[in-house]
Chain A
Amino acid sequence: MAHILVAEDDATTREMIGGILKKQGYLVSYASDGMRALSALKKRKFELLLLDIWMPKMSGLGLIGTLHGEKHIPKIIVMTSDKTSDTVLRSLRGQVYQFLSKPFEANTLINVVENALSEDPSVPPIEVLSANKHWVELLVPCERSVVARVQSFLTRLETDLPSDVMEKVGYAFRELLNNAIEWGGHLDPNLKVRISYIRTKRLLMYRLDDPGPGFKLEDLKHAAVSNPADDPMAHMAVREQKGLRPGGLGLMLTQQLVDELVYNESRNEVVLIKYL
């Protein structure tokens, strides 16, 4: 049974997290500050650490720093209402598995924990090539759960933007990253997608570079984006023929949600831009 350490200084929150997780059958231990968490980690092996950032004695970020270089580090999920870019970037550098915004719901917590624990140990970690607030660059394995994880970090760098912009860009990025991982990387965790997030005063840009050979627009008959102008539902018939689920609207929606969407020649690299 997976053993989870909950490092959280608020007793009620601890009670809640523990209650939810125990009900799912996990073994749960608690630490009420960073120092206690550190000593617990040294004493015992945990599969997962749910870590609060603001704690007395030693903060979550401090703990991450101390753990760096240790032999056995559990997967870390940072839970915080703190959305400053510094926290996000330091967590990224510290190999935090995922970000979880407080307050969260039981289902969200359960999903995140399940995903973290069920991940194949052979999946390589996310590599951080750059982590400053203007330029974040990551190499991520082509694995489905990586999408939610990457997004849990990157959306927190955008919290100063209006919520509709965040939602639109978030949707567009998710769609593109899903495509890159699924079509470009064939869900092979040993292949990597390179993600760049660039933020300037007037612009927000994502660039995704997938390991695949690219695609031709003609091969996208199953997607709404290649429908002829006079038949906006043509792709539905194609999907039905191919036995695909209904849908195929992703790329078209994406195009509409951002200001620019540009592919390179072979279409294995894409840039999306939102002007601010």
Chain B
Amino acid sequence: MTMPDVLENFLAQMGYALLEYRGAGAFVPIATLPGWFKGLWDSSSNPIPLSEACPFLENFLFEAEAFWESPSAALCQSETWVEKTPDGHEIPLQARALFLGGKRVLALCNPGAQFHEQVQMLQTARNALLDHERLAREIQKKEILLHCIVHDLSQPLSVMHVAMDCLSEESLSERSKQFLTLGKLASNQQETMIRDILHTFSDDLRASLNAGTEENASTDLLACARKATQALASTFEAKRVRLTVTSPDDPAAQWLVRAEESRLQRIFSNLLENALRYSPPGSQVTVGLESQGEFLKAYVDDQGPGLPKDLRPEQIFGLFMKGKQGGGKAGLGLYFCRITVDRWGGSISCLSLPEKGSRFWFRLPRAAGQPAQPAQDVAKIAAPATPEPQPPPRPLRILFADDQPDIRTLTCHQLKRVGHRVVAARNGSEALRKIRACSFDIILLDHEMPGMNGDEVASAVRKREAGKNTRSFLIACSGNSGPEDVARLKKAGFDTVLSKPFQLEDLYRALAAAPAVAPATALCRKPSAPAQVAFSSVLARIGGDAQLLQRMIRTFLHDTPKRVTSIAAALRRNNAEELASLAHALKGSVSLFGAEPARKLAQDLQELGRAGDLSAAPTLLNSLQEEIANLLGNLRGYAKQNPARPRSAVTVRRKPPRKRGKRRR
């Protein structure tokens, strides 16, 4: 074979047809024509009138002729097009204009295998895209599930904590205490686990959450509705259900709500999917928006069978609630909508439309900085409803607002038990009403409450206080207590944040922080107000025997001043050992009355004595004397209020109830 033969053969094998242009749409082959060429076109005439046979080439010739007239460095190549053979085979082709040896040459190529590969690739890419979408939906679903689980798991945990703390302050048998310890241990473990789950799985979730709850973060409700509608357009089309978004009457209106965009969109998609599920083919689903004062409302109407008669709207938004006819998958969609809207301080519900079909609607508060809430509203809130009553010095007056009845009951009980005056509120607006009616030293607000949330109450309280000489200590109880959350809550007017679920000691710690941070309330308590004896718990500790408590107080009042004097004497004599021993005994007796500051001081003194270094002792003794004076005053007050029974009764009591003692053994 000669070289040109080889080349010719090679070109044919590669699927190339080389043709010289003879003008007027006619070509002469300059090499052996490949098989496919002959299958497509009649190659018997010479030259071959190719542009007649192939309209695509006819068009390409314009480009090719321009190239041949003034050749450029750029390629002159056609798109790929497809020709059909008489027996129906499709052959992809590509054309290219060339100058070869001064001749105007057209190279036709059948990319064959390459083309199939490309198609394959496109197909794979499309599948990957579909997979990606499916997985993304799956992840979204998991996220929702996770959110629901964590939300629902952590709520009863708060109740468990507080319930067990309350229980531990009752007088219990050793055995019951063991059970209680075990229970506490387990609930702490559970809390850790829930926190771990949150940590591990919801970093993205949290990131979006934080971004969404920034002070100025707002989302356009209308834009969101449109985006969700667009995303679902093809699904609706496939089921032949029309989907429209009603344009608002006032095109210039602002539709900014306080919400996080991706979740808001998810709410729309959930409602739309739900509507589609119940829509017969040919019917219509409409999304609309309305302005309602401080709120913006969105609704989704369908023309389906309407709501089931036996279910209340709240039940429809319940967890794992599935429709009877071909319903959703997990029963989480509407539940997610509810907890999310609740969380943002909005509300959600549904109703049957009069003609046919149903309406699912939700409303969200307008974003801050919007003109819908004029200043006079705020002024109204700020106006005091009643003159403030002059507060007594102690105990603390506390308002506790939480929408969960169990946590409300338990926490109030606990706070009352340690001697505070507590008023409970079931939601934000009730809290505000009560705050207007009388003043509180400490206001504890759950962050997520229906209607008016903690933030709103807090800012209302701060506005109300503006220009006055009082300042309540505001504590937020929140499930989200990351640094950003805390910063945001403080910006809203809170003094501190109590992370939920909280335990009693956390609560006490938060309360203890109050006087130091809020000196402006000096008129109702001194920053270093003396500790009060919690007589109810002292009484509980000694088995509820009030007479015994009276005798103990009498002994203590008689004994303690002498003891303090002896400590002072020991210090004067520089007798460290004696001082340690006396301080130790004093420590024991003050701890019987739960007088923690005095106990701590006595212990410090005792340690100084044991260490033999009394240099710091005089200062400690001074403080101790102050604490003891306070304690003694406290005890005297109690003894006066609860006078002991007459002597005769005491004598009677002294006869030991023997039978009972025996039976117990």
Task: Please list the residues of chain A having a beta carbon within 8 angstroms of any beta carbon in chain B.
Answer: 1, 9-13, 15-16, 19-20, 22-27, 52, 54-56, 81, 102-103, 105-108, 110-111, 114, 117-118, 148, 164, 167-168, 171, 174, 253
Known: A9-B585, A111-B173, A167-B181. A118 touches B541 (CB 8 A): no
Q: What 0/1 pattern do residues 551 to 575 of B give for CB contact below 8 A with A?
A: 1100110111000000000000000
Min CB distance, A236 to chain B, in Å?
18
Q: What 0/1 pattern do residues 211 to 250 of B give for CB contact below 8 A with A?
A: 0000000000000000000000000000000000000000
List the A residue with the shortest CB-CB distance to B174: A111
Sorted nearest first, the 4 A-B pairs with minimum C-beta distance are A25-B661, A106-B543, A19-B548, A12-B589
Complex partner residue of B656 from A13, A26, A103, A174, CB under 8 angstroms? A26
Min CB distance, B570 to chain A, in Å?
11
Within 8 A of A (CB), among B115-137: none
Q: What 0/1 pattern do residues 585 to 598 of B give for CB contact below 8 A with A?
A: 11111011000000
Contact between chains at A167 and B543 (CB < 8 Å): no
Contact between chains at A107 and B664 (CB < 8 Å): no
Contact between chains at A24 and B661 (CB < 8 Å): yes
Q: What 0/1 pattern do residues 621 to 665 of B give for CB contact below 8 A with A?
A: 000000000000000000000000000000000101111111011
* Interface residue? B7 (CB, 8 A): no
B185 partner residues in chain A, CB cutoff 8 A: 164, 167-168, 171
Known: A81-B587, A108-B174, A171-B182. A19 touches B658 (CB 8 A): no
Contact between chains at B656 and A12 (CB < 8 Å): no
List the A residue with the shortest CB-CB distance to B560: A12
A52 partner residues in chain B, CB cutoff 8 A: 588
A1 partner residues in chain B, CB cutoff 8 A: 656, 658
* Interface residue? B545 (CB, 8 A): yes
By CB atoms of chain B within 10 A, which of A12, A23, A52, A148 has the most?
A12
Complex Cα distance A164/B585, Å?
Answer: 30
Beyond the given pairs A24-B660, A110-B543, 13 more chain A to chain B contacts, judged by CB atoms under 8 angstroms and listed by A's residue number, are A11-B555, A11-B559, A12-B560, A15-B551, A20-B548, A24-B656, A24-B664, A81-B588, A102-B588, A105-B540, A106-B542, A148-B174, A171-B181
* Interface residue? B154 (CB, 8 A): no
Complex Cα distance A10/B590, Å?
Answer: 10
Contact between chains at B545 and A23 (CB < 8 Å): yes
Complex partner residue of A13 from B178, B589, B657, B660, CB under 8 angstroms? B589
Complex Cα distance A215/B584, Å?
Answer: 50
Contact between chains at A19 and B542 (CB < 8 Å): yes
Offer 9 A-B interface pairs, CB within 8 angstroms, sorted by A.
A9-B585, A11-B558, A20-B542, A22-B654, A23-B545, A26-B661, A55-B581, A118-B665, A167-B185
B661 partner residues in chain A, CB cutoff 8 A: 24-26
Contact between chains at A105 and B541 (CB < 8 Å): yes
Complex Cα distance A103/B542, Å?
Answer: 11
Complex Cα distance A11/B592, Å?
Answer: 12
Contact between chains at B173 and A107 (CB < 8 Å): yes
Min CB distance, A84 to chain B, in Å?
11
Contact between chains at B188 and A164 (CB < 8 Å): yes
* Interface residue? B172 (CB, 8 A): yes
By CB atoms of chain B within 10 A, which of A15, A16, A24 has the most?
A16
Known: A19-B542, A25-B662. A12 touches B592 (CB 8 A): yes
* Interface residue? B59 (CB, 8 A): no
A148 partner residues in chain B, CB cutoff 8 A: 174
Q: What 0/1 pattern do residues 160 to 175 of B give for CB contact below 8 A with A?
A: 0000000000011110
Contact between chains at A106 and B171 (CB < 8 Å): yes
Min CB distance, B556 to chain A, in Å?
4
Instruction: For the complex, count residues of B whose C-beta is within 8 A of A.
Output: 42
A108 partner residues in chain B, CB cutoff 8 A: 174
Min CB distance, A9 to chain B, in Å?
5
Contact between chains at A12 and B660 (CB < 8 Å): no
Min CB distance, B445 to chain A, in Å?
30
List the A residue with the shortest CB-CB distance to B610: A54
Complex partner residue of A54 from B551, B560, B581, B658, CB under 8 angstroms? B581
Known: A81-B588, A148-B174, A167-B185. A12 touches B657 (CB 8 A): no
Min CB distance, A28 to chain B, in Å?
9
B545 partner residues in chain A, CB cutoff 8 A: 19-20, 23, 106
Complex Cα distance A15/B182, Å?
Answer: 33
Within 8 A of A (CB), among B516-568: 540-543, 545, 548, 551-552, 555-556, 558-560
Complex Cα distance A178/B584, Å?
Answer: 36
Complex Cα distance A25/B660, Å?
Answer: 7
Complex Cα distance A52/B543, Å?
Answer: 21
B559 partner residues in chain A, CB cutoff 8 A: 10-12
Complex partner residue of A23 from B543, B556, B578, CB under 8 angstroms? B543
By CB atoms of chain A within 10 A, which of B182, B548, B658 has the most?
B548
Min CB distance, A183 to chain B, in Å?
19
List the B residue with the shortest CB-CB distance to A80: B588
Complex partner residue of A16 from B178, B548, B664, B665, CB under 8 angstroms? B548
Contact between chains at B548 and A114 (CB < 8 Å): no
A106 partner residues in chain B, CB cutoff 8 A: 171, 541-543, 545
List the A residue with the shortest CB-CB distance to B578: A56
Known: A54-B584, A54-B585. A23 touches B665 (CB 8 A): no
Known: A10-B588, A107-B172, A167-B185. A22 touches B542 (CB 8 A): no
Min CB distance, A173 to chain B, in Å?
12
B542 partner residues in chain A, CB cutoff 8 A: 16, 19-20, 105-106
By CB atoms of chain B within 10 A, which of A24, A27, A118 has the most?
A24
Contact between chains at B174 and A16 (CB < 8 Å): no
Complex Cα distance A114/B664, Å?
Answer: 8
Contact between chains at A10 and B589 (CB < 8 Å): yes
Contact between chains at A12 and B181 (CB < 8 Å): no
Complex Cα distance A122/B178, Å?
Answer: 28
A16 partner residues in chain B, CB cutoff 8 A: 542, 548, 552, 592
Complex Cα distance A102/B585, Å?
Answer: 12
List the B residue with the shortest CB-CB distance to A14: B555
Contact between chains at B657 and A23 (CB < 8 Å): yes
Within 8 A of A (CB), among B130-165: none
Contact between chains at A12 and B552 (CB < 8 Å): yes
Complex Cα distance A77/B664, Å?
Answer: 20
Complex Cα distance A111/B664, Å?
Answer: 10
Contact between chains at B555 and A12 (CB < 8 Å): yes
List the B residue with the shortest CB-CB distance to A107: B171
A26 partner residues in chain B, CB cutoff 8 A: 656, 661
List the A residue with the shortest CB-CB distance to B544: A106
List the B residue with the shortest CB-CB distance to A105: B541
Min CB distance, B551 to chain A, in Å?
6
Complex Cα distance A22/B185, Å?
Answer: 36
Contact between chains at B541 and A103 (CB < 8 Å): yes
Complex Cα distance A9/B583, Å?
Answer: 12
Complex partner residue of B585 from A10, A20, A107, A174, CB under 8 angstroms? A10
Complex Cα distance A107/B664, Å?
Answer: 12
